[in-house]
Amino acid sequence: MTAPIDAANFVTIDRLVDSLAQIMFLIDVEPDGGFRYRRLNLMHQTLTGLTNEDLMGRTPQEALPPRVADAVCRNYSICLNSRKPYTYEEVLEMKGGARWYQTTLSPTFNDDGDVCLIIGSAVDITDYKQRDFEYVAEQSQLTSLIDDLRLFSAMAVEDMRGPLRTILGLVAIIKDGFLDLGDEKINHIDMIENVTESALNTMGGILERAEEFSLKSESHTDISLEKICKEFTALLDPEKKFRIVFPHHRIKTDRVALQLIIRSLLENALRYAGRKIELSVMQDNGSDDRLWFTLSDDSLGPAPNLRADGRCVVPRRDDSDARPEMLLVRDLIEERDGTIRQINTNRPGTWVGFSLPGQLLSQNELVES
């Protein structure tokens, strides 16, 4: 446990964090469990563009957009209630744009053993996350090319197998009743037969190697779906103009792919929704290793594959007008042997369902943000 401190030591802490070449911030914990910003160090102000005048002495609700305040208070509360350091990733809209941080919150205790101060430190990992996202996108493109190559290989092999089998058939007819006159013609016929059989075996090997060549990753991690959704809703709808409902579940799946998919689908839904967006997840048809997600919004009109307003939620590969991020969503899902489709219902709005490999670790009530 961190050593208890008294009020006199706060000045020392303020000076200490200013001397550190890392993003640091201090949050006072009030007696009722509320939070109030105490200080941003010089490095924080330099790198983020925020100043002490923006935050000092104000609560998150007073200083930040509503949805952003909800997201950061959730993290502060985890640190407060656990009474131990808490490290997590978050994405925040700064004056220079959206930035990703790996943040650690450390509780500090007063003489009574109560948490009175949270010391926050953060490392900007935007470049790392961008490379992570780019790698997944590039892997998706490579996987698509490999799938095309595998299809081409299969078609080419089948195109070659037919004529080769015909040759073998003709050789069998020729050899049936063939009279060897000692002129070595039978040797030439045997050579044709052997070369043709070797070619057919090679064709089978080509197909086997093409099927084995894959870039698919099975790296699954434990994820708080609520946390991912809160971060992206805070980034995309900071002023709470929309009612967004999502599950308070823990799941195990491909974290980076899911982050890209949810962000893109939320952005797309926010362009068309009236007031409400809802995300749900369950095990797919009782499967233990596949998840089924449904994202719906209350946009006007029915939801055929191509809406009257031109909105195509699940684009075709050859659709030149499709948004690139939606093409990426489809590719990320399909290369993981998942499916994505627009669900036609009799209700207004748009409903999209997609599946991914994964497990539902815990299930709780829906959360409204």
How far apart (Å, rounded) are the C-alpha atoms in residues 134 and 142?
Answer: 12
pLDDT at 50 over 90: no
Determine the pLDDT at residue 322.
62
Q: Give the span between the Cα atoms of 70 and 295, in whole angstroms.
A: 22
Q: Residues 289-331: pLDDT tens digits?
A: 999 999 999 886 444 444 444 455 666 655 556 667 788 888 8
Q: What is the pLDDT of residues 125-165, one digit of tens each?
A: 999 888 888 877 777 677 667 666 666 666 676 667 678 77
DSSP 285: G
Where do we find the tokens 């089924």?
292
pTM: 0.63
Percent of the chain residues past pLDDT 70, beyond the cut:
80
Per-residue pLDDT, 130 = 85
Q: Give counts: helices (H), strands (E), the chain.
A: 10, 14
Give me the CATH code for the 9-124 domain, please. Answer: 3.30.450.20
**Sequence spans of domains, the chain:** 9-124, 130-212, 221-368
Q: Can you tell me the distance from the alpha carbon of 254 to that of 217, in angstroms, rounded to the nearest whole number?
A: 8
Whole-number pLDDT of residue 302: 43
**Type of residue numbered 319:** D
**pLDDT score at 337:** 85
Cβ contacts of 72 within 8 Å, gap of 6 or more: 60, 64, 90
* Cα-only R_g, the chain: 30
What mean pLDDT is predicted for residues 186-207?
Answer: 78
The answer to whether 83 touches 116, Cβ cutoff 8 Å, is no
As a whole-number percent, the residues of the chain with pLDDT over 90 amount to 34
- d(CA 154, CA 207) in angstroms, rounded, equals 6
User: Which one is the CATH code of 221-368: 3.30.565.10, 3.90.550.10, 1.10.10.10, 3.40.50.1970?
Assistant: 3.30.565.10
pLDDT digits (tens, 9 = 90+) for 223-248: 899 889 998 999 899 989 999 999 88
In 3D space, the residue among 105, 112, 58, 113 whose CA is nearest the CA of residue 80 turns out to be: 105
